[in-house]
C-alpha cells in the first residue's frame, strides 16, 4: 500500500526541517519530543531545557485521533496549563502501564462502536501554549480522484468534522503551476478569517500546500494550528506519506517509521518474516493471517487471482472458514517459494480443526504470464517434504490449479511428490475454471 | 483511431529484457508478421550495437540504442514505447518519450512509481493524446497483430487461448494474471478476444477502464466487452455513466473482484495498491449491483463468469452480430533452436547461386552486365549499389594505387621474401603486412585530418597551426619531386574526374585552399595522390548521402586503407611473380651498407 500513516512527532519534524523553505515569513519553535516512558522524558529534559521551564501538554502519538474525547490529553494538573515535567512523566508512566481503551469514533461526546484495547507506547510532549480560540485555524490537504484538494477553515479544533459547512475546499490539478496554485488559494480564503489575518493565512496556506506537494505527503492535516502575527503553533497534526516516493525522499524525510495502528494485532513473527523476504526480493510475497484456527488456507499466485479465490471461498464456504489471505507473484525463486510455503504449512498444521474436519490447502493461480510454474512448485514440493508428517497428522487435503510457463511439468511433479509422501492431492490445469477447485474442496 | 495496434505497429523496447522481447518476436513469427514488432531496443548501459533474437528457427538482429531519442530517430514509425524501466527511472523515461512526441502509446510496467510522479506523467500524456497503459501492468494485446512483452504468457498458452487471431471480445482488466485467465475463459466459452488491455494495478494508472471501453466501442472488430474491475476507486462508475448515456451501446459483461473486502476493516490490503475501498460506493458489491442495474451482464460470482460469457456470446452469434471465424494458418516456432556463432550480412551461398548483397554473381561478373570491380566492391564492402560515377571512381583509385615500383618498403619486402623461396601468398602477405601508418597510411590520415579541419571550420592557417600543435606533418601533403609547376599527373587525373562527375567536392575544394598556403611556403608541399584519394573518398560518401558519423566510422575502421590494400595487392603479386620468373637467388644485404656500432653490454 502506497499511503502510510506516520506519527504526529515525525510529521512535525519533517515540517520543521523544511520550515524556512515553505514558511519563511513565520516562526515555529519546534518544541516537541517523543518518548516511551517518564524517565526517558526526564532524561531529554537535561538537553531540552524548555521541558523544565515551561508547563507541558502530553498525549499519545499512535496514529489515532479523538485523544481529547478519550481523555488522553494531559494539560491540567489542578488547573489548565499547570502540568510540570514531574506530572507529565508520572502521567505517561501511569498511562503506559496498563492497557487502555480507545474509541475511534464518537457521536457528540458519546463513544460510537467498539473500543480498541491496547498498550500506549509512544507519547508526544510539548509546551502548553495558551492562545485565544479565534487564533485557531484548520488546514488539510489530500488527493481526491485525480486532484489534490486543500481544505481550510477559520475554525480549528476537534469539532471540524461536524462543521464541514465552515470548511472551504479548493481543488488543484496535478499540472497546476505555482502561480495558479497561489492564485486559487488567495481567491478562496475562508470568509470567516478576519480581514487583518487574511494575508497571513493565505501565505501560510500556500506554504502548507507546497510542502504537502513537494514533500510527497499523501495526507496532511493540522487541526488546529495557531497563528498569532507571524508566530505559528502546530497543536495537532495527522499525516500520511506516499511511501513509494521513499527512494527520492530519504534526505527530506529522514529516518521514518511506519507504525502499526493502535489496537491492531502486532504482526506475528511469520508475517514479519514474509514481509522481510518480500522487501529483499524482486518478486512479491504477501501474507495476512485472518483466522489461524480456520480450516481453509490459500497459497495463491498473483494479486488478482488471490482476491478471486478469497471472494469465492467467502461465497461458497463462508468467511469463517478462511484462515489467511496472501499471494506470491512476479517470478519468485524456488527458495523464496519454499520459504513462503513452509511458513504457511507451519501455521496451518499447528492445531487440528476444532470440529474434526480435514483442513484444505488451496494452491491456486491463474495462467501465469512469465512465472515458471515448475520452478515455483519445486519450492512447494520441498516444503511438503519437510511438513508431510505434520500435514498427515492434522489431515490436509490439497487442491491445485495452475497454468502458465512449464505448468505441465509443475503439475506432474507436485502430484508425484504428494503421492509419494502419502498426501491427499487433486491437480488441475488451465482447462479447469480458475476457482472451481474451491467448489470441489467445499463439496468434497 | 479505434484500434490500439495493427499488424504494422512497431515498438521501441526500453530495457533489454531479452526473454520478453523474444516472446514478442515468437508471437510475430507465429502470426506471420512481416516486420518484427520490436524495431529497436534502448539499452542505456549496453555496449553492443545489436542483439540477436530468434525469428522462427532463424535469427535476426535488433539494433540497440543508448537512449530513446536515438532509437526513435532511427525508427520514426515505431509509435509504441514499451517502458520496462524500474520504478526509479520509469517516470523519466516516460517524460522523455512524451517530449519526443513520437509515440502514440506508452506502456509502463514498473510498480510503485511515486504517486505524484505517476499523476504528473499521466496528466501530461492525456493532454498530448498519448495512451498510457500502466503503470504496474503486463500490457495489452491486439490478437493477430501486436502483443506487448509477456502478456498472454507462453506461445503454447497464446494458441490455446486463441490469442493468435482476433476474436470478438474487448477485454479490460486491472490485473495481469487474471487478464491471461480471462483470455482463456473467453476462448473456451466464446471465440476469443479482439483487443485486450490490463490497465495496471497501481492507484494512478494512465488509461482507465472508460478510455479503453470507449475505444473498443468504436472498434468494429469488438462486438462485446468484458470488464473486470476491483474493489476500490470509482472508475467503474464512469463506465456505468457511459452505458446509461448511450455512449457505449455494445454489451458489457462485468464483474468486480474483492467482494470479500467487506468482511474486514481497512487494515487488510486485498490485491493491488489501487484496491482499497473508501466508502460504500467503492466496495465490490456496490459496484457489481450498480453495473447490473445499468444493464450490464453481471454474474452472481466470479465462478459463474464463464456461463455469462457463453450466454452473451451465443446470443450475439444467433443474432448474426458475430460471424464464424476462419482459423488462420500459423507458423509454429521450433521447440529447439540453436543460436548462430557467426553472422554474415554481405553474401549468401545457400541458394542456387551465390550472391553478393543479394545479387547473383553472374549478374555482376561478365562484361555484358555492365558491372565492374567498383560495383563488386560497393556490394561487398558497403552493401549498397553505388551509382556509376562512384563505382568508376573506386576503380580509378584501385588502378591508381596498384603499384609504385620495387623500391617502396612493401614491394621490397615481398621481393626479399620471394627470393627466400617462399610461395606467392607468403611473399604477398609479407608485403601487405608492411602497410600501416607509415606505408599507405596517408590516405587514412588525410581523410581524417582534413575532414576534422573542415568539420570544425578551421581556415587553412588554423589547420596548419592545429597540425603543428599535434606535431605531425599534414598527411597527404608533399611529394619527393613533384610541385605545382610539375604536377603529379595521377592527381591531375583524379581531380579532373571528380570535377566532371562528382555532384560536388567540398572537402577537395578545402584541401586545395590548404595546398595554396602550403605551396607558398615550399614548392613541393602539394596535395599528393594519397591525400587526393582520401579526400575524394570523403566527398564521394558525402554525395552518396552518408552521415558524417557514418563517414567517420569508415575512416576509423580502416576502410580507406582497404582501398590501398586491395589495389596494391595487384602490384605486390606482380613483383612476386617477377621474382619467380627471374629466379633470383636468396638476398643478403651488403654488410658495407650497414653501420655497425656494438658496445659491450654493461653489467647491472
The enclosing domain of A111 has a CATH number of 3.30.1490.20
Question: Would you say residue A264 lies in a domain?
Answer: no
Q: Kindly state whether residue A304 falls inside one of the protein's structural domains.
A: yes
CATH number of residue A244's parent domain? 3.30.470.20
Interface test with A, best of B260, B274, B304 (most A CBs within 10 A): B260
Return the H-helix or E-strand segment holding A296: strand A296-301
Q: Would residue A259 count as lying in a domain?
A: no
| Known catalytic residue at B466 | no
Q: Of A244, A311, A367, which is closest to B113 when you measure between CB atoms?
A: A244
Output the tens digit of pLDDT for each of chain A's 444 residues. Answer: 578 999 999 999 999 999 999 999 999 999 999 999 999 999 999 999 999 999 999 999 999 888 988 999 999 999 999 999 999 999 999 999 999 999 988 888 888 888 888 999 999 999 999 998 889 999 999 998 889 999 999 988 756 667 788 899 999 999 999 999 999 999 999 999 999 999 999 999 999 999 999 999 999 999 999 999 999 999 999 999 999 999 999 999 998 988 887 877 677 888 889 988 888 887 889 999 989 999 999 999 988 899 999 999 999 999 999 999 999 988 899 999 999 999 999 999 999 999 999 999 999 999 998 889 999 999 999 999 999 999 999 999 999 999 999 999 999 999 999 999 999 999 999 999 999 999 999 998
Q: Cell for B261?
A: 473486502
Q: How far is CA B280 from CA A164, B277, B285, B290, in A?
A: 20, 7, 9, 12
Structural domain range at position A339: 269-443
Structural domain includes residue A262: no
A174·B116 Cβ contact <8 A: yes
Residue A261 lies in a domain: no
Residue A344 falls inside a structural domain: yes
pLDDT at A105: 82
A46 in the same domain as A178: no
B47 pLDDT tier (thresholds 50, 70, 90): confident
Same domain, A439 and A397: yes
Measure CB to CB from residue B157 to each of A247, A308, A367 and give the nearest one.
A367
Q: Do A10 and A43 share a structural domain?
A: no
Q: Identify which of B123, B203, B271 has the shortest CB distance to residue A306.
A: B271
B112 contacts in A (CB within 8 Å)?
A: 2, 244
The answer on A400 and A312 residing in a single domain is yes
**Best of A274, A311, A376, A429 to disrupt the B interface by mutation (most B CBs within 10 Å)?**
A311
CA distance A308 to chain B (A): 6
Q: pTM score, two decimals?
A: 0.81
Residues A100 and A178 placed together within one structural domain of the fold: no
Q: Tell which of A199, A222, A253 closes a domain.
A: A253
* Contact yes or no for B275 and A435 at CB 8 A: no
- Same domain? For A187 and A207 the reply is yes
Are residues A111 and A137 both part of a single domain? Answer: no
Q: Could you tell me if A294 and A359 lie in one domain?
A: yes
**Is residue A21 located within the same domain as residue A77?**
no
Spatial CB neighbours of B106, under 8 Å, sequence gap ≥ 6: B80, B81, B83, B94, B97, B98, B125, B130, B131, B132, B133, B206
Q: Is residue A321 part of a domain?
A: yes
CA–CA min distance A143, chain B (Å): 10
Q: Is ipTM strictly over 0.85?
A: yes
Residues of chain B with CATH 3.40.50.261: 11-318
Minimal-distance CA residue of chain B relative to A261: B267
CATH number, domain with residue A427: 3.40.50.261
How big is the CA angle at B234 (ends B229 and B236), to the nearest 5 degrees?
40
Cα–Cα distances in Å, from B232 out to A416, B227, B269, B281, B489?
Answer: 41, 15, 11, 9, 86
| List of chain A residues whose C-beta atoms are within 8 Å of the C-beta of residue B302 | 308, 311-312, 435
Domain C-terminal end among A253, A282, A309: A253
Give start and end residues of each alpha helix (H) in A188-262: 195-214, 250-253
Task: Measure B153 CA to nearest chain A CA, in Å.
Answer: 4
| DSSP assignments along A402-418, one per residue | -BSTTHHHHHHHHHHHH
The percent helix, strand, coil of chain A (3-state, each to 5) is 40, 25, 35
CA distance B180 to chain A (A): 6
Provide the domain count of chain A. Answer: 3
- Among A192, A224, A253, the domain boundary falls at A253
> Which of A308, A319, A405, A411 is the best residue to mutate to test the B interface, defined by the most B CB atoms within 10 Å of its own CB?
A308
Same domain, A138 and A123: no
Q: Three-state DSSP class for A123?
A: strand
- Give the number of C-alpha atoms closer than 13 A to the C-alpha of residue B544, restricted to the C-beta side: 20
Distance CA A28, CA B182 (A): 57
Q: How far is B327 from chain A (nearest CA, A)?
A: 21
Strand order in the sheet with B347-348: B347-348, B355-356, B359-360
Q: What are phi and psi of B264, to 5 degrees?
A: -125, 155
* Nearest by CB: A307 against B160, B184, B258: B258
Tell me whether residues B181 and A307 touch, CB distance under 8 A: no
Query: In degrees to the nearest 10, what's the CA dihedral of B279, B284, B290, B293?
Result: -160
Both A293 and A398 in one domain: the answer is: yes
Contact assignment for B273 to A1 by CB distance below 8 Å:
yes
List of residues 6+ apart from A15 with CB closer than 8 A:
A22, A28, A211, A234, A237
From B205, which residue of chain A is nearest by alpha-carbon distance?
A146
Ordered DSSP codes for B302-332: GGGHHHHHHHHHHHHHHTTSSPPPPPPP-PP
Of A145, A264, A311, the CB nearest to B259: A311
The answer to whether residues A101 and A227 belong to one domain is: no
Whole-angstrom distance, CA of residue B334 vs CA of residue B350: 21
Comparing A200-209, B258-267, B308-317, B513-522, which segment has the lowest mean pLDDT? Answer: B258-267
Q: Do A310 and B260 touch (CB under 8 A)?
A: yes
How many CB pairs below 8 Å do chains A and B form together? 171
- Cross-chain Cβ contact B270/A307 below 8 Å: yes
**Hey, what CATH topology would domain B11-318 get?**
Rossmann fold (3.40.50)
Amino acid at each position: 500500500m502506497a499511503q502510510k500513516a506516520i506519527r504526529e512527532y515525525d510529521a512535525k519534524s519533517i515540517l520543521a526541517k523544511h520550515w524556512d523553505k515553505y514558511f519563511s515569513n513565520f516562526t515555529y519553535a519546534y518544541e516537541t519530543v517523543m518518548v516511551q516512558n517518564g524517565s526517558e522524558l526526564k532524561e531529554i529534559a537535561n538537553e531540552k531545557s524548555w521541558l523544565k521551564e515551561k508547563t507541558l501538554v502530553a498525549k499519545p502519538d499512535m496514529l489515532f485521533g479523538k485523544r481529547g474525547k478519550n481523555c488522553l490529553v494531559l494539560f491540567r494538573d489542578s488547573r489548565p496549563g499547570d502540568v510540570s515535567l514531574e506530572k507529565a512523566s508520572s502521567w505517561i508512566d501511569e498511562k503506559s502501564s496498563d492497557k487502555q481503551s480507545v474509541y475511534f469514533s464518537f457521536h457528540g461526546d458519546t463513544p460510537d462502536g467498539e473500543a480498541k484495547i491496547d498498550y500506549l507506547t509512544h507519547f508526544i510532549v510539548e509546551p502548553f501554549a495558551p492562545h485565544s480560540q479565534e487564533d485557531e485555524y484548520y488546514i488539510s490537504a489530500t488527493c481526491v480522484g485525480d486532484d489534490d484538494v486543500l481544505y481550510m477553515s477559520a475554525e480549528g479544533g476537534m469539532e471540524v468534522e461536524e462543521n464541514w459547512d465552515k470548511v472551504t475546499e479548493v481543488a488543484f490539478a496535478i499540472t497546476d503551476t505555482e502561480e495558479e496554485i497561489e492564485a486559487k488559494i488567495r481567491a478562496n480564503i475562508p470568509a470567516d478569517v478576519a480581514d487583518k489575518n487574511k494575508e497571513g493565512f493565505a501565505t501560510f496556506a500556500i506554504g502548507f500546500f507546497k510542502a504537502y506537494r513537494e514533500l510527497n505527503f499523501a495526507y496532511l492535516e493540522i487541526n488546529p494550528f495557531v497563528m498569532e502575527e507571524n508566530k505559528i503553533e502546530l497543536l495537532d497534526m495527522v499525516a500520511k506519506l506516499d511511501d513509494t516516493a521513499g527512494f527520492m525522499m530519504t534526505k527530506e524525510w529522514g529516518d521514518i517509521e511506519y507504525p502499526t495502528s493502535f489496537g491492531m494485532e502486532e504482526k506475528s513473527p511469520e508475517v514479519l518474516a514474509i514481509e522481510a523476504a518480500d522487501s529483499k526480493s524482486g518478486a512479491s510475497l504477501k501474507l495476512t493471517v485472518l483466522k489461524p484456527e480456520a480450516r481453509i488456507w490459500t497459497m495463491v499466485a498473483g494479486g488478482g487471482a488471490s482476491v478471486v479465490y478469497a471472494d469465492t471461498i467467502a461465497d461458497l464456504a463462508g468467511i469463517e472458514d478462511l484462515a489467511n489471505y496472501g499471494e506470491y507473484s512476479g517470478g519468485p525463486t524456488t527458495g523464496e517459494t519454499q520459504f513462503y510455503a513452509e511458513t504457511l504449512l507451519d501455521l496451518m498444521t499447528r492445531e487440528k480443526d476444532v470440529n474434526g474436519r480435514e483442513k484444505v490447502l488451496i494452491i491456486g493461480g491463474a495462467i501465469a504470464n512469465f512465472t515458471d510454474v515448475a520452478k515455483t512448485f519445486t519450492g512447494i514440493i520441498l516444503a511438503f517434504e519437510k511438513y508431510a508428517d505434520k500435514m498427515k497428522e492434522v489431515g490436509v487435503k490439497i487442491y491445485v490449479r495452475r497454468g502458465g510457463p512449464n505448468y505441465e511439468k509443475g503439475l506432474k511433479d507436485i502430484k508425484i511428490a504428494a503421492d509419494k509422501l502419502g498426501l491427499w492431492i487433486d491437480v488441475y490445469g488451465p482447462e479447469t475454471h480458475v476457482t472451481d477447485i474451491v467448489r470441489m474442496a467445499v463439496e468434497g | 483511431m479505434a484500434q490500439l495496434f495493427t499488424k504494422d505497429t512497431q515498438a521501441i523496447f526500453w530495457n533489454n529484457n531479452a526473454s520478453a522481447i523474444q516472446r514478442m518476436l515468437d508471437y510475430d513469427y507465429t502470426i506471420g508478421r512481416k516486420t518484427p514488432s520490436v524495431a529497436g531496443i534502448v539499452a542505456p548501459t549496453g555496449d553492443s550495437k545489436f542483439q540477436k533474437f530468434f525469428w522462427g528457427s532463424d535469427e535476426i538482429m535488433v539494433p540497440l540504442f543508448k537512449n530513446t531519442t536515438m532509437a526513435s530517430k532511427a525508427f520514426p514509425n515505431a509509435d509504441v514505447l514499451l517502458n520496462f524501466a524500474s520504478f526509479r527511472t520509469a517516470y523519466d523515461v516516460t517524460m522523455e518519450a512524451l517530449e519526443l512526441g513520437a509515440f502514440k502509446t506508452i506502456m509502463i510496467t514498473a510498480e510503485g512509481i511515486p504517486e505524484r510522479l505517476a499523476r504528473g506523467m499521466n496528466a501530461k500524456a492525456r493532454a498530448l493524446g498519448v495512451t498510457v497503459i500502466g503503470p504496474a501492468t503486463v500490457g495489452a494485446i491486439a490478437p493477430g497483430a501486436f502483443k506487448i512483452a509477456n502478456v498472454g504468457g507462453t506461445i503454447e498458452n497464446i494458441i490455446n487461448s486463441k490469442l493468435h487471431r482476433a476474436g470478438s471480445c474487448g477485454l479490460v482488466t486491472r490485473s495481469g494474471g487474471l487478464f491471461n485467465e480471462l483470455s482463456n475463459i473467453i476462448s473456451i466459452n466464446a471465440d476469443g478476444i479482439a483487443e485486450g488491455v490490463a490497465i495496471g494495478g497501481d492507484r494512478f494508472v494512465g488509461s482507465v477502464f472508460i478510455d479503453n471501453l470507449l475505444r473498443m466501442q468504436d472498434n468494429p472488430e469488438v462486438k462485446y466487452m468484458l470488464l473486470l474491475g476491483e474493489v476500490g476507486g470509482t472508475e467503474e462508475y464512469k463506465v456505468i455513466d457511459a452505458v446509461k448515456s448511450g455512449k457505449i451501446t455494445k454489451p458489457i459483461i462485468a464483474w468486480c473482484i474483492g467482494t470479500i473486502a467487506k468482511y474486514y476493516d481497512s487494515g487488510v490490503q486485498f490485491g493491488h495498491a489501487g484496491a482499497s475501498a473508501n466508502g460504500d460506493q467503492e466496495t465490490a458489491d456496490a459496484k457489481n449491483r450498480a453495473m447490473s442495474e445499468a444493464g450490464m451482464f453481471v454474474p452472481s460470482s466470479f465462478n459463474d463468469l464463464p456461463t455469462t460469457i457463453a450466454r452473451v456470446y451465443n446470443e450475439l452469434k444467433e443474432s448474426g452480430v458475430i460471424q464464424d471465424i476462419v482459423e488462420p494458418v500459423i507458423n509454429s516456432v521450433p521447440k529447439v533452436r540453436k543460436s548462430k556463432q557467426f553472422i554474415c550480412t554481405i553474401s549468401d551461398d545457400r541458394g542456387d547461386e551465390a550472391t553478393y548483397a543479394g545479387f547473383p554473381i553472374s549478374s555482376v561478373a561478365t562484361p555484358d552486365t555492365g558491372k565492374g570491380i567498383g560495383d563488386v566492391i560497393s556490394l561487398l564492402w558497403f552493401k549498397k549499389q553505388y551509382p556509376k560515377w562512384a563505382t568508376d571512381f573506386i576503380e580509378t583509385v584501385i588502378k591508381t594505387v596498384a603499384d609504385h615500383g620495387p623500391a617502396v618498403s612493401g614491394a621490397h619486402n615481398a621481393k626479399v621474401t620471394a627470393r627466400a623461396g617462399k610461395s606467392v601468398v607468403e611473399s604477398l602477405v609479407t608485403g601487405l603486412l608492411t602497410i600501416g601508418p607509415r606505408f599507405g597510411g596517408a590516405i587514412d590520415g588525410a581523410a581524417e585530418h582534413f575532414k576534422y579541419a573542415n568539420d570544425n571550420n578551421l581556415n587553412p592557417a588554423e589547420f596548419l597551426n592545429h597540425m603543428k600543435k599535434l606535431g605531425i606533418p599534414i598527411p597527404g601533403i608533399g611529394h619527393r619531386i613533384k610541385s605545382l609547376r610539375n604536377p603529379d599527373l595521377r592527381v591531375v587525373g583524379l581531380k579532373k574526374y571528380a570535377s566532371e562527375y562528382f555532384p560536388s567536392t567540398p572537402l577537395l575544394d578545402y584541401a586545395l585552399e590548404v595546398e595554396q598556403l602550403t605551396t607558398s611556403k615550399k614548392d613541393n608541399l602539394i596535395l599528393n595522390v594519397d591525400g587526393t584519394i582520401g579526400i575524394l573518398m570523403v566527398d564521394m560518401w558525402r554525395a552518396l548521402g552518408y552521415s558524417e558519423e557514418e563517414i567517420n566510422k569508415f575512416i576509423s575502421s580502416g576502410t580507406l586503407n582497404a582501398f590501398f590494400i586491395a589495389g596494391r595487392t595487384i602490384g605486390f603479386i606482380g613483383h612476386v611473380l617477377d621474382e619467380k620468373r627471374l629466379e633470383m637467388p636468396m638476398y643478403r644485404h651488403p654488410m658495407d651498407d650497414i653501420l655497425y656500432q656494438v658496445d659491450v653490454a654493461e653489467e647491472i
